[in-house]
Amino acid sequence: MATGIATGMNRLRRTIGGAAVAGMMATSITAGFTTGAAAQEETIKVGILHSLSGTMAISETTLKDAMLMLIEEQNKKGGLLGKKLEPVVVDPASDWPLFAEKARELISVDKVAAVFGCWTSVSRKSVLPVFEELDSILFYPVQYEGEESQRNVFYTGAAPNQQAIPAVDYLMNEEGVKRWVLAGTDYVYPRTTNKILEAYLKSKGVADEDIMINYTPFGHSDWQTIVSDIKTFGSAGKKTAVVSTINGDANVPFYKELANQGIKAEDIPVVAFSVGEEELAGLDTSPLVGHLAAWNYFQSVDTDANAEFIDAWHAFTKDEERVTNDPMEAHYIGFNMWVKAVEKAGTTDPDAVIDAMVGVSVPNLTGGYSTMMPNHHITKPVLIGEIQDDGQFQTVYETSGLVPGDAWSDFLPDSKDLISDWRAPMSCGNFNVATGKCGGKGE
């Protein structure tokens, strides 16, 4: 396992190094496009706001590459509104306040038509005021905690009812889990998600003593004591599972320590919400076989659309070993929705595009179509997969149809009466159906 981890970290260094080169290439592309006012008018700029360094680079670098591929493919089709698309790549470096600074730069200085980016909720929260103030558009591609619906944001990742709740239901109903470890990185997404899950578990009759909650900092590396505590908690004679909202490169030593202490999936299964193919790439996954992840897409999904996407990805990266993952599919969906909405509106003007987005449907990679709803969330299937020894996932559960994303949880007292609908005349992100009033801007 140590060799596998080392291989994974070496691969990460190469990826980050490659990201720097790709970032410079993207910058040179921008420079080439923007020599003179006439050249600027001939392109539509698209902002890419993903960490290419720091603790989240392991997850976000691939999303930058995916966006460059999608933009290149759209340009091969003739661009958009008769103009070429021009990527503008910035690196907020896993620094949450820097996300806001870079977002402002993209919108005010680079004049991008839309931004695709962020991973952590704290980075998204950091940029929300910027997008609202400057009236631009953010496409956010990662699962998150809900409890938000902002007019300038389109949430193409999963809300809790499209990932966390179905994962707990699966473990409870199919695995007979009775005790729950809610382990997360110490920031808003894990804390809010676990608040929802704790309320949900208690609504199902789970006692306080059967729920253990733990938080660790970003980049946490010393897991020996925590994993030992999990092992002890799971030795009480009741089936135990870990629900993991651990983010970024802290997952590498976490899974390594699970293996070191002999915790196998059949004993204490882990279901992760932020571990996909990219995080597992290059690692020795044999000790992790059988542990789970809940997403809305896996690379192993057998559809023609997915096969075409994987082929295009390998051709673009010139690397047959590069994996695909769920947030990449979310960018695929969001980007194609944006293109369709711009074509529908006949302009890249944010207000016109925001209005045109609701109701737009585009193919997803798991089969069928995903639709943008009035609450700025999309419809998605829910998949639960088991880690295989090749770093891929075998789907063990899938919803029978598409699940609409719920911006506000039914299990929290402060949000159970809230709905979101950005269409006129409501135009509200947090309308209280009990009081008949809009609470404000929707976050």
Q: What is the pLDDT of residue 440?
A: 63
Say whether both 245 and 334 belong to one domain.
no
- The conformational region for residue 365 under phi > 0 = left, psi -120 to 50 = alpha, else beta, is alpha
Residue 155 has pLDDT above 50, yes or no: yes
Q: What average pLDDT does this structure show over 67-94?
A: 98
**Domain around 63:** 2-159+302-380
Say whether both 319 and 285 belong to one domain.
no
Residue 18 has pLDDT above 80, yes or no: no
Helices and strands in the chain: count of H runs, count of E runs: 13, 19
Q: What is the pLDDT of residues 225-235, one digit of tens each?
A: 999 999 999 99
Say whether both 323 and 247 belong to one domain.
no
Q: What is the pLDDT of residue 88?
A: 98
Say whether both 258 and 281 belong to one domain.
yes
Give the rounded percent of residues in the chain with a pLDDT score beyond 70.
90
Say whether both 295 and 196 belong to one domain.
yes
Q: What average pLDDT does this structure show over 189-213?
A: 97
Residue 241 has pLDDT above 60, yes or no: yes
Which structure tokens are listed for 354? 């925001």
Residue 439, domain member (yes or no)? no
Average pLDDT over all residues of the chain: 90
Strand order in the sheet with 393-398: 211-216, 179-185, 240-245, 270-272, 292-295, 383-387, 393-398
Q: What average pLDDT does this structure show over 103-114?
A: 98
Residue 315, domain member (yes or no)? yes
Q: What is the pLDDT of residue 221?
A: 95
Say whether both 236 and 166 belong to one domain.
yes
Residue 281 has pLDDT above 90, yes or no: no
Residue 190, domain member (yes or no)? yes
Residue 248 has pLDDT above 90, yes or no: no
Q: What is the pLDDT of residue 287?
A: 81
Q: What is the pLDDT of residue 284?
A: 81
Say whether both 208 and 259 belong to one domain.
yes
Q: Provide the pLDDT confidence category of residue 203 given band limits of 50, 70 and 90.
A: very high
Say whether both 147 and 203 belong to one domain.
no
Say whether both 62 and 192 belong to one domain.
no
Q: What is the pLDDT of residue 76?
A: 98
Q: Provide the pLDDT confidence category of residue 41 given band limits of 50, 70 and 90.
A: low
Domain count, the chain: 2
Say whether both 119 and 207 belong to one domain.
no
What secondary structure does DSSP assign to 355-391, as a single string? HHHTT-EEE-SSSSEEEB-TTSBBEE--EEEEE-TTS
Residue 28 has pLDDT above 60, yes or no: no
Question: Which sign, positive or negative, has the C-alpha torsion 400, 405, 411, 417?
Answer: negative
Q: Provide the pLDDT confidence category of residue 21 given band limits of 50, 70 and 90.
A: very low
Residue 5 has pLDDT above 60, yes or no: no
Q: What is the pLDDT of residue 395?
A: 97
Among 416, 412, 417, 422, smallest CA distance to 442 is for: 422
Say whether both 85 and 49 belong to one domain.
yes
Residue 138, domain member (yes or no)? yes
Residue 173 has pLDDT above 80, yes or no: yes
Whichever domain contains 66, its CATH number is: 3.40.50.2300
Q: What average pLDDT does this structure show over 338-363?
A: 98
Q: What average pLDDT does this structure show over 108-116?
A: 98
DSSP label of 83: B
| Boundary of a domain, candidates 380, 395, 424 | 380
How many angstroms separate the CA atoms of 278 and 247, rounded? 13
Q: What is the pLDDT of residue 195?
A: 97
Q: Provide the pLDDT confidence category of residue 37 given band limits of 50, 70 and 90.
A: very low
Angle in degrees, 0-180, between the axes of helices 304-317 and 57-76, rounded to the nearest 10 = 100
CB atoms near residue 186 (< 10 Å): 13
Q: Any idea which of 12-26, 145-159, 244-258 has the lowest mean pLDDT? A: 12-26
Say whether both 143 and 222 belong to one domain.
no
Residue 365 has pLDDT above 90, yes or no: yes
Q: What is the pLDDT of residues 304-339, one digit of tens each?
A: 999 999 999 999 999 999 999 999 999 999 999 999
